[in-house]
Amino acid sequence: MGFYIAQFLTGLASASSLFLVAAGLSIIFGVTRIVNFAHGSLFMLGAFSAYSISQHLGFWPAIPLAALAVGAVGWLMERTVLSRLYDAQELFQLVATFALVLIIQDAALWIWGPTDLLGPRAPGLTGIVRILGEPVPMYDLFLIGIGLSVLAAIWWMFTRTRFGVLVRAATEDREMLQALGVRPARLFQATFFIGAALAGLGGALEMPRQPASLLMDLNIIAEAFVVVVIGGMGSIAGAFLAALLISELNAFGILVLPEITLVAAFAVMAVVLVLRPHGLLGKPVTSQPHAVEIQPPQTLGRVGRIAAAVLLIFLLTLPLFAGEFLVVLTGDILVLALFAAGLQFMMGTGGLISFGHAAFFGLGAYAAAMMVRDAGTGMVPALLAAPVIAAVGAVVIGWFAVRLSGVYLAMLTLAAAQILWSAGIQWQDVTGGDDGILGIWPDAWAKGTASFYYLTLALSAGGIAALMIIADGRFGRLLRAGRDAPARAGALGIDIRRRNWAAIVIAGTAAGLAGGIFAFSKGSVFPDTLAIPRSVDALVMVLLGGLHAPAGPILGAGVFSILEDVLSRLPYWRALLGAAVLAIALFAPGGIAGALSARINRTGKVRP
Amino acid sequence: MKFVRPIALAAMFSVSLIATVIPAAQAAEPIRIGEINSYTRLPAFTEPYRKGWQMALEEINAAGGINGRPLEIISRDDAGKPGTAVKIAEELVKRDKVVMLSGTFFSHIGLAVSDYAKQNKIMFLASEPLTDALVWSNGNDYTFRLRPSTYMQAAMLAAEAAKTDAVTWATVSPNYSYGKDAVEAFKQVLTKLKPSVKFVDEQWPALFKIDAGVTVRSLEAAKSDAIYNVTFGPDLSALVREGTVRGLFEGRTVVSLLTGEPEYLEPLKGEAPKGWIVTGYPWYAIDTPAHNAFRKAYEARWNETLKMGSLVGYNTVLSIAAVLKKAGSTDTTALVAAMKDLKVATPGGEITYRDADHQATMGSWVGKTDVIDGAGQMTGWRYVDGAEVLPAAAEAKAMRPAN
C-alpha cells in the first residue's frame, strides 16, 4: 500500500509542475484566444534565469525573481508582437509565437551557452520523509503544496476579485466587455504577465529536479498543450485535473508497460477529444473570437496567369541553364509547395486548421518506403501508394476531426500526428524506429538530377493545379460557404461536415504525394517526417505565401526554403529566420502574395 | 520575374558568402571537405567537436597543408533534420565539389548521409554517430566511422559488469534506437560472459523527457543487484538527483554508458555519482606526450577544457589528412582504397580503420566515477582499445550487406 501511495505522491509532484506551465497557457488562451507556442520557451527562460539568480542570491530568492523576470518577458512579448495580432487568424498567432521560439532559443544559447546548467537544490528540503515506510523527497511535497496553492490562488483571483471577473467576462464574450467600456488591452497585458510568470515559476521550480537546458522549451510545450486540451482550453481546474491524469497515468503506467512513455499522453488526448470535444471541464466557445469576414474567392487574375505561365516556362527550362544543385533545390521547393498547397486548401478554402499536417506527409513517405523495402516494388507503384495510404489515414483522422472545430480540431490533428510519430519511433520492426528506412532511391530512368526534377515538377505542378481547380469549382464554393456562413450553408442543405471531411482527405492526399516524392529525393525516411517541426514548417510556408492567395504555397515554399538555405550558413541563424517570419506575420498579414497583389491593386494598373 | 529574382539573389548571396569563407590568395587550389553536423540542435556536444576539428585544420594548414595544397572544410548545420542533411550533402558534392563528406552526430542523420554517399559514390567519414547499423547491417563501401560504436562501448561495460557479483539487473534507457541497441548489446555480451545474470526490469523514459521520480521508484521496486543506465544529458542529471535523494544507488552496482564523458559528467559538478562504472574521457588524467601536447594546444587555442567532442573532431580531421596523404589523390576510388587499414596517430593512441567493417579502432576509457575537488572525475580508469571489443574481422564482415 505504502508503495502505491508514494508512487501517487511522486506523480502528484510531477503533476504540480506540469500544472504551473499548463495553467499559464490556459489562462492566456482563455482570455486572448492565442495558442502560445512560445510558452515552453518561457518555461526554459524561467529555469535559466533561476540558475543565474541563484548563483548570486541563493536558491529561495531566485524562484520568485525568476518568475517575475519571465512575467516581464511575457509582458514585453505581448506589447511588441502579440498585441498586434489579436484580430488576425489563429495561424498568424501560432506562427508568430513559433518565430518567438526560434528567437528565444538563440537568445538563450547566446546568453547562457550550450552546456546544461544544474542549479542548487532547495536548502532545507533536500531530505526525505518516510510515508508508510516509503521514502518521499521533501521537495516533492513542497511542489505539491505549491501546485495546490497556485490552484487556490487562481481560483480566488477569478472568483473573488474584480480583475478575475473581468478576465472571465473576457473569456466569455470579449466584444461585449469592450462594448461595456473595459479596456481589453490592460487586461491582456496583465494576463500575459501572469501566464508567463507561471511558466517562469514552473521552470524555476524545476531547478532541483533537472538542469536548465536548451531542450526544455520544445519538450514541455507538447505536453502542456495536451494538458490544456484535455482539461478544456481556458479552464484552470481542468488543467489541474488533466495534469494529474497525465502524470498519474505515467506514474502507474510505466510500472506495467515501461514503453508507454512516448504515446500515452497523446492517446489520452485523442480519446478525450473524441468523447468530450471541448475537454473534461471546457465549455464550447460561445462567441466567435473574431468577426467572421467573408473572404472573396481568390483566383488567378490576368497578372497571375501570366506569372504562372512565366514560372512554368522557367521551371521547365531550368535544368538547361542552372547548375545541378539549383535544380535539386528547386525540386525540394516544388515538393514543399505541394505539401503547403494541400494545407492551404484545407485551411484557406476550408477554414480547417491543422497543427499536424506532417501526419499525412509522413504516412506518404513511409508508405512509399515500405513498398520499396517490403513489397520490393519499383518507384512508380510506391509513388501511387503514397497518396493512397495518406488518403486512408486522412479518412480516419478526418472522421474524428470534423466533429470538432477551430483550435480543438487543430489539436486533434496534432495528437494524431504525435501518435503516428511515436509509432514511427517505437514500432521498430515495421518502421525501423529512429534508424528509419534506407535505400529508397528512384528507378534507373528517373535517377538523373534532371529526370527526377521533371518527375517532381510534373507531380507537384499537377497536384497544385488540381487543388486550384477543385478550390475554384463547385466543391470549393460549397466548402467556402461552410467556412464563412455555416448556419446559412446548413440551411441550404449543404452537409458541411461531409464537405470538410472530403477537404481533409484531399489535403491529406496532396501531402502524402509530397511525402512520397520526398522519400525518393532523399533516399531515406525517418520519424522526423511525422514530427511537429514539419507541421510547423508547412504552417509557416502557408503564412509566408498568403493564406488565401492561389500563388501562396509556391511563393511560401520558395521563400522559406531559400531563407533557410541562405540563413543556415550564418551563426544564430534561427533567430534571423524567426525575425523574418515575425516581420511577415506582423507587416504583411496577407503573406507575400497578398502584399504583391495589394500593391498591384493600389497602383491601379491591373486588377488581379 | 517575381519568382526568378529571389532565387537569383539567394544564389548570388550564397556564392558571395562562400567566397568570403575561402581564404584569399592561396597559391594552390585547396582540397575541399564537406562537413555536416547538428550545430544548432545539440550545441552542447557539437560546439566542442567544431573546436576540435578547427584546431586540427589550422595545425595542418600551418604545416603546409596536404601535398602542398591547403585543406578547406565547408561546414554546415543540418538543424537536426536528416532531409536537410541530405540536401546539404547534395549541395556540398554538386556545387562546392568537395572530395568527401564528414561529420554528423545523430545516428539517423549519419545513416541518411551514408546512404547518400553510397548512392552517389562519394566517401563519407562518419565522426560521431554511434549506431551499429552504420557499419554493420547498413554498412556500405563508401562509409567509414571513427567513434567507438554503441556495441563497442556496451561491450566494454559488459566486460566490467561480468566481474562484479551482481546477478539481477535492471536497465534504464531512452526510448529510441540508440537506447534499444545499447541495452540489447549489453544484455547479449553480459549473458555470454556470465550466463547466470538475470534482467529483471527495464525502464524506457522518453528521450530528454524523463519523469525521474517515477522512473527511480520503478527501478527501486525491481530490487535488482545492479542497474545499467543509458540515459544521458538532462535525463542523466535528473536521474542522478532523484536516485540519490531516494537512495536508489546505495549498495547497488551501477554501470553507465558514456557518463564519464565531460559533456555529461561536468554539469553534475559535486553531485556526480560515485563508484559508477562508466565509459568516458578522463582528459585531466591522461599523461602521454601526445595527449599532453593536444591538451595544451586546445586550452591555449580556445581557453576552455577538453570534451569528448573535441577529441572526436580533432581525430576526424587527422583521419581526413591521413587518408588524403596516403591516397595522394582526391579521387573517391583512391580515397576508399586508402582507407583500407589506414593508421592514424591520434592524441589517444594509434587507431586503424578496419578493412572488414570500416570501423576505426578508436577506443574508450573505462573507469569508476568519483568526486574530486567538487567535480566529477573518472578514477582507476584504463584505455580499452576498440580492437579488443570488436567482433573478429570475418564475423563483422558477415554482418554487412554484400554490395
**B 47-76 residues inside an 8 A Cβ radius of A:** 47, 76
Q: What letter does residue A375 receive in the DSSP assignment?
A: I
pLDDT in tens, B252-310: 999 999 999 999 999 998 899 999 999 999 999 999 999 999 999 999 999 999 999 99
Which residues are CB-contacts of A161 (< 8 A; sequence separation ≥ 6)?
Answer: none
Nearest by CB: B82 against A3, A314, A526? A526
Q: What is the pLDDT of residue B27?
A: 60
Q: How many CB atoms lie within 10 A of CB A111?
A: 11
Q: What is the pLDDT of residue A605?
A: 43
Q: Which residues of B touch A562 (CB under 8 A)?
A: 6-7, 10
Nearest by CB: A439 against B81, B115, B212? B115
The phi and psi torsions of B350 (rounded to 5 degrees) equal -75, 140
Distance CA A38, CA A172 (A): 24
**A 556-575 residues inside an 8 A Cβ radius of B:** 558-559, 562, 565-566, 568-569, 573-574
- pLDDT-derived band at B23, boundaries 50, 70, 90: very low
Distance CA A23, CA A243 (A): 10
Question: Are A400 and B73 in contact, with CB atoms under 8 Å apart?
Answer: no
Amino acid occupying residue A66:
A
Q: Which residues is B74 bridged to in the sheet?
A: B34
Question: Are A37 and A97 in contact, with CB atoms under 8 Å apart?
Answer: yes
Q: Which residues is B226 bridged to in the sheet?
A: B169, B253
Question: Are B139 and B161 in contact, with CB atoms under 8 Å apart?
Answer: no
Q: What letter does residue B269 receive in the DSSP assignment?
A: G
**B 343-372 residues inside an 8 A Cβ radius of A:** none
Interchain contact A97–B (C-beta under 8 A):
no
More confident residue, B59 or A586: B59
Q: Which residues of A touch B75 (CB under 8 A)?
A: none
| Grid coordinates of A203 | 521552470
Question: Are B235 and B205 in contact, with CB atoms under 8 Å apart?
Answer: yes
Distance CA A63, CA A120 (A): 12
pLDDT in tens, A311-339: 999 999 999 998 888 999 999 999 999 99
Q: B131, B95, B96: which is closest to B113 by C-alpha?
A: B131
Give the residue ranges of chain A where pLDDT is below 70: 285-299, 599-608
Q: How many CB atoms lie within 10 A of CB B158?
A: 24
Q: B274, B248, B247, B241: which is closest to B260 by C-alpha?
A: B274
**B 85-114 residues inside an 8 A Cβ radius of A:** 86-87, 90-91, 94-95, 107-108, 111-112
Q: What is the largest CA-CA distance in chain A?
A: 83
At residue B15, does pLDDT exceed 60?
no
Whether B7 sits inside 8 A of A330 (CB atoms) is yes
Distance CA A329, CA A402 (A): 36
Question: Are B266 and B378 in contact, with CB atoms under 8 Å apart?
Answer: no
- pLDDT-derived band at B24, boundaries 50, 70, 90: very low
Assign B4 to helix, strand or coil: helix
Q: A189, A200, A229, A198: which is closest to A32 by C-alpha?
A: A189
Q: B207, B262, B210: which is closest to B240 by C-alpha?
A: B210
Distance CA A231, CA A244 (A): 10
| Grid coordinates of A120 | 542548487
Question: Are A250 and A267 in contact, with CB atoms under 8 Å apart?
Answer: no
State in Å, rounded, how far the first CA of chain B is from the last one.
47
The phi and psi torsions of A230 (rounded to 5 degrees) equal -65, -40
Cα–Cα distance list, B22 to A100, A376, B7, B16, B94 (Å): 33, 45, 23, 10, 17
Question: Are B240 and B215 in contact, with CB atoms under 8 Å apart?
Answer: no
Question: Are A144 and A16 in contact, with CB atoms under 8 Å apart?
Answer: yes
Q: Which residues is B101 bridged to in the sheet?
A: B34, B124
Can you tell me which residue has the cell 487562481?
A: A154
Which residues are CB-contacts of A134 (< 8 A; sequence separation ≥ 6)?
Answer: A2, A3, A5, A6
Q: Which residues of A touch B94 (CB under 8 A)?
A: 323-325, 328, 449
At residue B368, does pLDDT exceed 70?
yes
Distance CA B296, CA A71 (A): 45
pLDDT in tens, A402-459: 888 878 888 889 889 988 998 888 888 888 888 889 889 999 898 888 999 999 999 9
Question: Are B161 and B277 in contact, with CB atoms under 8 Å apart?
Answer: yes
Nearest by CB: B268 against A118, A259, A434? A118
Q: B90, B45, B326: which is closest to A115 by C-alpha?
A: B45
Kindly give the pairing relationship between strand A134-137 and strand B277-280.
unpaired
Question: Are B226 and B255 in contact, with CB atoms under 8 Å apart?
Answer: yes
Q: What is the pLDDT of residue B5?
A: 47
Q: What is the pLDDT of residue A593?
A: 80
Q: Three-state SS across A83-105?
A: HHHCCCCHHHHHHHHHHHHHHHH
**A 286-315 residues inside an 8 A Cβ radius of B:** 307, 310-311, 314
Can you tell me which residue has the cell 546539404?
A: B88
| Grid coordinates of A24 | 499559464
At residue B119, does pLDDT exceed 50?
yes
Q: How many CB atoms lie within 10 A of CB B25?
A: 4
Whether B237 sits inside 8 A of A128 (CB atoms) is no
| Grid coordinates of A199 | 511558466
Distance CA B340, CA A282 (A): 65
Can you tell me which residue has the cell 513542497?
A: A142
Q: Looking at chain A, which residue has its C-alpha nearest residue B16?
A: A566
| Grid coordinates of A72 | 516581464
At residue B156, does pLDDT exceed 80?
yes
Q: Looking at chain B, which residue has its C-alpha nearest residue A206?
A: B238
The pTM of this model reads 0.89
Interchain contact B268–A (C-beta under 8 A):
yes
What is the secondary structure of B139-177 as a DSSP string?
A: --TTEEE-S--HHHHHHHHHHHHHTSS--EEEEE--SSH
The distance of A73 to chain B (nearest Cα, Å) reads: 23
Distance CA B75, CA B40 (A): 13
